[in-house]
Amino acid sequence: MPAIFHYISQNTRGERLPPAEMAASLVLVLLIAVTVRAVLFRSSLAEIIAERVEVVSPLNGWKRVVEGLALLDLGVSPYSGDVFHETPLVIYLFHFVIDYSEIVFMIADAITAVALYLAVQDYNKIVFRKQKYTLEAGRYPLDVVELLRTPKEMMYIPIKVAVFYLLNPFTVLSCVAKSTCGLNNAITALFILCTIKGSALLSAIFLALATYQSLYPFTLFAPALLYQLQRQFIPISIHSPRFWIFTSQYGSMYLGSLVVITCLSFFLLSSWDFVTSVYGFILSVPDLTPNIGLFWYFFAEMFEHFRPFFICVFQINVVFYTIPLSVKLKEHPIFLMFMQIAVISIFKSYPTVGDISLYMAFLPLWHHLYRFLRNIFLVSIVLIACSVLFPVLWHLWIYAGSANSNFYYAITLAFNVGQILLVSDYFYAYLRREHHLIHGLYLKKKDGTEETLILK
């Protein structure tokens, strides 16, 4: 196996940047990101951006938070006006830091980026170690050398992830609009970091916080659990007692922190108003302000008595894919995590561009799948064109009055189809790479001709 030996020897003397230099480039990226945001905060664009329906939703609009705070200061329940739909913890957070809100949002973005950076760095080490063991055990076919990952290529991934999150126009817009989506992203990123670092308790607490914030992240329980089982070498089988012990441990930690947080919120406001106002609002979708999601148009058009049925159908989409994906990707929990975050941001009831930016930050991590991606050109064109067309069609509909909601919804649909294609393309590419790692890169049919893989 000369090729593989060559590969191993190359790995052992793989050049690495000193950590100080990587840290310096991370600081540089952070500085650039903060500068961009600070400039935008000071410009007249901030007000326009804060009004865009693509950037803020009824759940996370800053105006609504301010309204909730005003009600709280007057001694009224912030949920009494049907305007405010954030959680009690967020309103108490801003109760103390309302004067520094811009800084809070910038810090939230920075936390997300740094957490993702550290998480990805750690994850890469694990992936690389695993690949090395498999190589040394000689379990890879001979011709997959070009599929193997090199330290040189992996070295830049963490910083790329940070750049993708911080300098993504979607994140910048979301931060400048002071959408509380940035906070949710920070919590999710911390959850990912804790999971990858292997701290079950912290991971459960942050997952509970994320669930408390926006409900849907509870589907991330599955990948987090799978990852930690894998990390502790616990076999995933229903006959293994260790599997059940750990699952119940992690589950009870998660549920326990969820109960604690919820009760804390109850004691802060001494009422259960927030449950209907936040979670009822997320689940029953009463606000049909247009956004980049799929809900508003359907429910605006629908007859009232079909509403509960279709709400169930639409909401089930988010959780529907969790189990099949968990079964298929049980060996690859971080990729499952990425898929789940993407599915949530596509199918949630009030999506904004901030949600999209979180899963887009993961794309550099799957850089090695690039050669298997099939529609990336088409999909990126669709996504870019739709992002540009959103404001144009909004202008035509709302200001010029010449177009109507159908035009806007058409773009929403195209945008979501683009996202779904993107995610399924990555899914397919991931599966295909794994297939090649087992069966060899150049597949031959029995008669010796080149075999092709067909996804059906």
Partner 1 sequence: MGLLSDPNRRRALTNLVTRLNTPLCVMCYIVGITWFLGLAFEPFTLRTYMSENAMGSTMVEEKFVYGDRALSYSREFSGHRKKVGGLPVDWLVKTMKSRGLEVYKQTFSRTLPFPDESKERYMVKGTNVYGILRAPRAPRTESILLSATCSEGSNNNQAVGLLLALASYFRGQVYWAKDIIFLVNEHDLIGMEAWLESYHDVNMTGIQSSPMQGRAGAIQAAVSLELSSDVITSFDVVVEGLNGQLPNLDLVNLFYAFCQKIGMLCTIQGKLQRNDWDTLPGYSHSLNTMLLMVLKQSSGRPQGDHGLFLRYHVEAVTLRGINSFRQYKFDMSTVGKLVEGMFRKLNNLLERFHQSYFFYLLPSLTRFVSIGYYMPAFSFLILILMLRALDLWVQLSNTPHVQDDEEQDPGPSMLSLATPIFICHLTGLALYFLPILSQDMATQHFPVSETEAVVFTAIAIYVAGLALPHNTHRALSGSGTECGWRSLKLLSLLYLAVLLGCTALINFSLGFILAVTMVPMAAFVQPSGPRVLYAFGLVLVSPACTLLLSIYFYHYLLEYPITLLECWQQFLMAISQGILDHHLYGSLVYPLISLFIYPCWLQLWNIVFWK
Contact residues toward partner 1 (CB under 8 A) are 374-375, 377, 381, 384-385, 388-389, 392-393, 395-396, 399-403, 452-456
Rank residues 212 and 394 by Cβ distance to partner 1 and give the closer one. Answer: 394
- Quote the least distance from Cβ 377 to partner 1, whole Å: 5
- Quote the least distance from Cβ 174 to partner 1, whole Å: 22
- Quote the least distance from Cβ 179 to partner 1, whole Å: 25
- Quote the least distance from Cβ 303 to partner 1, whole Å: 22
Q: Is 358 helix (H, G, I), strand (E, B) or coil?
A: helix
Rank residues 32 and 263 by Cβ distance to partner 1 and give the closer one. Answer: 32
- 337-350 as b/e, with b when 16 or more CB fall inside 10 Å? bbbbbbbbbbbbbb
Rank residues 69 and 389 by Cβ distance to partner 1 and give the closer one. Answer: 389
- The closest of 61, 66, 67, 32 to 49, measured between CA atoms, is 61
Rg (CA), the chain: 23
- Quote the least distance from Cβ 392 to partner 1, whole Å: 5
- 297-324 as b/e, with b when 16 or more CB fall inside 10 Å? bbbeeeeeeeeeeebeebbeebeebbee
Rank residues 98 and 385 by Cβ distance to partner 1 and give the closer one. Answer: 385
- The closest of 417, 423, 411 to 359, measured between CA atoms, is 423
CA 255/CA 51 separation, integer angstroms: 37
- Quote the least distance from Cβ 390 to partner 1, whole Å: 11
- Quote the least distance from Cβ 404 to partner 1, whole Å: 8
Rank residues 302 and 392 by Cβ distance to partner 1 and give the closer one. Answer: 392
- What are the residues whose beta carbons fall under 8 Å from the beta carbon of 273, sequence distance 6 or more? 77, 79, 80
- What are the residues whose beta carbons fall under 8 Å from the beta carbon of 112, sequence distance 6 or more? 165, 182, 185, 186, 188, 189, 358, 361
CA distances from 164 to 117, 444, 451 (A): 11, 39, 36
Q: Is 399 helix (H, G, I), strand (E, B) or coil?
A: helix
Neighbours of 123 (CB within 10 A): 21
Rank residues 346 and 389 by Cβ distance to partner 1 and give the closer one. Answer: 389
CA distances from 203 to 151, 232, 251 (A): 28, 15, 11
Confirm if 282 and 350 have CB atoms less than 8 A apart.
yes
Strand blocks (E) in 112-237: none
Rank residues 66 and 385 by Cβ distance to partner 1 and give the closer one. Answer: 385
Rank residues 236 and 410 by Cβ distance to partner 1 and give the closer one. Answer: 410
- Quote the least distance from Cβ 414 to partner 1, whole Å: 12
- Quote the least distance from Cβ 401 to partner 1, whole Å: 4
Please give the structure tokens belonging to residue 204. 């459960």
Rank residues 312 and 392 by Cβ distance to partner 1 and give the closer one. Answer: 392
Rank residues 99 and 450 by Cβ distance to partner 1 and give the closer one. Answer: 450
Please give the structure tokens belonging to residue 281. 């609002």
Rank residues 149 and 374 by Cβ distance to partner 1 and give the closer one. Answer: 374
Q: Which amino acid does the sequence have at 282?
A: I
Confirm if 441 and 146 have CB atoms less than 8 A apart.
yes
- Quote the least distance from Cβ 407 to partner 1, whole Å: 8
Rank residues 73 and 153 by Cβ distance to partner 1 and give the closer one. Answer: 153
- What are the residues whose beta carbons fall under 8 Å from the beta carbon of 354, sequence distance 6 or more? 55, 60, 170, 171, 173, 174, 175, 179, 181, 182, 184, 185
- Quote the least distance from Cβ 456 to partner 1, whole Å: 8
Confirm if 346 and 416 have CB atoms less than 8 A apart.
yes
- What are the residues whose beta carbons fall under 8 Å from the beta carbon of 12, sequence distance 6 or more? none
Confirm if 249 and 241 have CB atoms less than 8 A apart.
no
- Quote the least distance from Cβ 453 to partner 1, whole Å: 7
